[in-house]
Structure 1
Amino acid sequence: MKKVIALIILSLTMVSCSELAELEAGRQQRLRERGWECRYNGRGEVQHCGYIN
């Protein structure tokens, strides 16, 4: 009985992790599609780069 419960818990965890991975992949794709925006200081050095909102 304990083995069956452990198997069910592991299966649910695996499904949850794969769904989270898919959500994260979708979020990363949306961020890549938006492009980059960088800010520079007075000397022309990059201060900060981030995704465009």
Structure 2
Amino acid sequence: MFESNFPVDKECVSYRTLWNAFKQIAAKAGLSEAEKADIFSGTAARAYRLSELPD
């Protein structure tokens, strides 16, 4: 689940830098679009029982 720790992390790194780093890691790992969607939104939506965001 992407950046569930950001309130703590923001003391060390900007959100923009962290977001771009995670996008690069996901791309280099060869993750599918579905896997990236889970990392960046789907897992949090399920964990917190939120409605999925539209594509």
- Whether TM exceeds 0.5 here: the answer is no
Looking at secondary structure, tell me which structure has more strand per residue: 1
TM-score scaled by length of structure 1: 0.35
Higher relative contact order (CA 8 A, sep 6+): 2
- Using structure 2 for the length normalisation, give the TM-score: 0.34
